[in-house]
Structure 1
Amino acid sequence: MIEIDNLNSSINILKYHAINAPETSGIYKMIDKHGALLYIGKAKNLQKRLSSYTKIANLNNRLQTMVSQINTIETVQTSSEEEALLLEADLIKNLKPRYNILLRDDKTYPYILIRTDHPFSPIIKYRGEKTVKGRYFGPFASVQDVKNTIATIQKLFLLRTCSDNYFATRLRPCLLYQTKRCSAPCVGKISEEDYLASVHEVYDFLSGKAEKLQQKLQQLMQKASNNMHYELAALYRDRLNSLKTIVAKNSNFKSIKEDTDIIAIYQKLDEICVSVFFLRNGHNYGNKNYFLKNNLLQPLGEILGSFIEQFYQLHTPPKEIIVNEALLDRALLQNALTTIAKNKVKIIDRLKKDQLNAKIFAEYNAQEALTQRLRAFTTQHQFATEIQKLFKLPTIPKRIEVYDNSHIMGSFAVGVMVVIKDFGFDKSAYRKFNIKSTTDSDDYMMLKEVLTRRLMNLKKKFPQYTASEWPDFLLIDGGAGHLKIVMQVLRDLNLSHHLNVACIAKGIDRNAGKEQFFTPSKPPFTLDKNTEVMKYLQIIRDEAHRFAITTHRAKRSKALTHSSLDNIPDIGKVRKQILLSHFGSIKAITEASFRDLAEVKFIGKKIAKVIHTYLHEGK
């Protein structure tokens, strides 16, 4: 309910700032009485834009709610609309105002890299700055899309995917050669010239020249068959069939020749899905769905424009962007993206006939993705309601945090936090904690450290307990002893009255289905193993356990790769790589003589003496 006095007061504040605002382009920030940022917007004319908020009759209920919270306004002038647009997108990304459309994605997309600094070029997944010498293809929508494409290339062209160290130490072909996924250049099963020819075929394939490759494979298959080399002909046939399948998958986008992103937006209720398809060199490199909330009931074209502003702050724009909604500031947005890309970018919202299939396909994908998400919301809401009843929570939990830890006799100890929100598991909110307080097998001390660090950080960042980052319910993998530790931490941090907690302990003989629950307010109890809420609690507990185990294994694996070279003075990452490339393995380096070490490029006699002395001082 909007308080009229608050709304009238905020309107007066708006009028004051509107009168004093310059009639130039810029951005404005709306701030509440607590200093929290409500909204950031851009304007061609700041005075006119702020004045528009004072006309209550033109504002929907949600806009009125936002306006009623305004306590002050800050403005920043810019030299152009384009600069205002870029500044707005940058500030929204960094400051995350409550009422703006927020793109919660700060990850770079993966690429395929074919290195050119080795005679037998490997094909690998790559993410980050393009500092490695080679040819890059992408971006791909996900790591899985990269893996699938590399797997296809292995089947079709038999390129290697192994590291240089592994390549240098092979004495016989690995399993990939036996399964026809690699040509085994490591042991001379293919000449450098023939391997390079395969690499160039991959360039053609990833550059959209699939038809040319199809013709070539057809000719090679026919030639092998005519010469009665039937096994070779069968190999070409299988490659040809795989290639035809890939070409068929791109049929919805066959009319699009330029590097293009297709962005489709779809809304149901106040939930929005934006689906982005990446088309490069005639290939569909996959798609990613983004889910937004239309907090202010803005038009879809306005929301899509805001999304594009933020999205291409993180990712390089392609030559063309096809959208399914007309944008309010299309020309302005085009100019801004051209500045970012450093080449001309075209936004297309009026499609030609041959582009309609691509738009319809992207729209359908966005619609289906949002439908599934809303279905997940309904299911999650039902389980959250059951949890509220079961544990007598004051409200239906919107954020559940599950905690677990993993270690081997206290070594490589980690704690983890898994988060469940309205739409299920939110993996972007998962957290890992490297245990620092103990090296013993003390689960209680580990739990105490993890919870203390997590909750102290929350208190520091979000002192208001109503913030959405605060959990409504904590579920701990453990029993009565763990509950005692949790309650101690909550008392120490004065949070006993703010957080609800329960522990879930495995049953007798660690039997799933006989779990016991421990809460501060009643004796331990269990549930019928066939009830849906029991199965759900097991699922979220098991997800925390899975995350803890994989995090622990990753930490242990990383520690095991620590070699004797890591402790030698003056041996950094570069020299270590030079030695490994030269000798092929740690064992070979250890067995090398002083003279062998000194002859390695960039090592020399002085460093060779340090290495040799260190590696042999215990012998």
Structure 2
Amino acid sequence: MSTEVFNAAAFLSAVTGKPGVYRMFDAAGELLYVGKANNLKKRLSSYFRQTGLSPKTAALVSRIHQIDTTVTANETEALLLEQSLIKGSRPPYNILLRDDKSYPYVYLSSRDAYPRLGLHRGTKKAKGRYFGPYPSAGAIRESLSLLQKTFKVRQCEESYFRNRTRPCLQYQIKRCKAPCVGFVSEEEYAEDVRHSVMFLEGRSNALTDELTRTMESAAQNLEFERAAEVRDQIGQLRRVQDQQNIDTEYGNVDVIAAAVMPGGACVHVIMVRQGRVLGSRNHFPRVPIEQTSGEVLAAFLPQYYLGTGERELPKEIIVNAVHEDLPVIADALAQARGHAVAFTHRVRGTRSRWQSMAVTNAEQALTSMLGNRQNIQTRFEALQEALGLDEMPTRLECYDISHTSGESTVASCVVFGPEGPLKSDYRRYNIEGVTAGDDYAAMQQALMRRFAKLSEGEGKMPDILIVDGGKGQMKMARDVLQELAIHDLTLLGVAKGVTRKAGMETLYLNESHNELVLSGHSPALHLIQHIRDEAHRFAITGHRQRRGKTRNTSTLEGIPGVGPKRRRELLKHFGGLQELIRASAVEIAKAPGISKKLAEQIYTALHSD
């Protein structure tokens, strides 16, 4: 049993803000609690605030030793996965419902002119229509809430409905049209009920097409308020039409994805049984930094399935990378376990989304692990030893340049300390007055602007200045420091080397002739690669933002394959740019004339910043 205290601050600094499921474990590795969140970072941060926790939550937090997260495409998938994990593990801090095999339905009454929607369990004695069954009451309530916002069909009980003399709060907040007091005609209400039924029957595409035609007709007739109302309905439908791919296909498969970054590797395993994701787990094998994802998988798979006779071997394993040894591994597994297994890489539909989810989780888990405070502290100590410094550095600054053929050049400055990235100290410099594409002049301008202020007493002096580049960038940085009479600063140049492969970088310490080559396993090199990659990312982001402002064009313009006609069709399909931005790549691919590949390009362009 480990006695190490859970470092909440370090964990929260690296956790993602995407939707997903989180699992909390105690020091003995026992599962305490399973929860879901639309934003994992915000939800998990709420557990560790200083005040306001209930006694039960405070007791849970006091026992936390480890938190694992699983990222999903949307909150609907998170809900379904959360219910599956709770049902399978029955954690002590979750509210557990009795499994009496009475599945819930959506009920639509039919006894009067203004039918109601509601949740129903048990025998179907009441007259009306029943839609379902659904996996949980929570899934029904979420759908009913969204339908209430969209079509405003009442959900109140009959006794409440018959005794109203004035509209209730649901009318005030625009979730009901007050049929109880005659504020809506039977014909208009019947149309809202028909649309709700179309959605519950799964005819979402036909419903969206019909609403789109209604919106266009209203706009042509100058009924702009009606057109805006229908546009909002289309937007609501887009959000509830998320593919619940966790339950849409039957099959027993394992989905395994490997992610490799400077400093480590992660293999994420997702188990799918009868088409439902049962759970997932991260593994962190120790591998050389120069290995590829395929090589990591080839080493991991035999140990994972042959290391224990109890681990179930499915007939299909989906991987995110291929390797020449996979056929041999498949034969070995078939011989040892008594049935054939197929490794698949190019998958479509639901299997493709499972694969993408595994890749996302592997990358996120590895990022979180590498961002651990204790891990970074070890790297700083290793850097001190590798560079022969008298004291451990406490502030590293790294600079990089980004542009597109010289256009909108931006220089980035990122700062790392022993506790990780210091994002409040990050800076960007818009480069002006230099020859297009002259990275040396751009670097000179950025360093001059930064260190001229420093020589005037503004800001903090770094212990090590890192520039991404070879001898030329190194010399330029040295000239700037000499011109500003800064002599006590350690200068480190990072060149990618002949192969330009991670782990094979050449370092220049203070002078261009003083070369330093570190092992691919060196924690010091991993730290240098980490800050170099972060400077590169920060520079590219700033460059894209500046380039977008300079071009002053539509968000959709400039995307290859998206001309004026496709832009019009996209905006028409989603009812506006904001709804298009909210859509996932899978939802964009449903638009007329948009392939999966083009949808991914559009999604990337809309979220590139």
**What's the TM-score bracket when you normalise by the shorter of the two chains?**
0.3 to 0.5
TM-score after normalising by structure 2 = 0.33
Larger Rg: 1
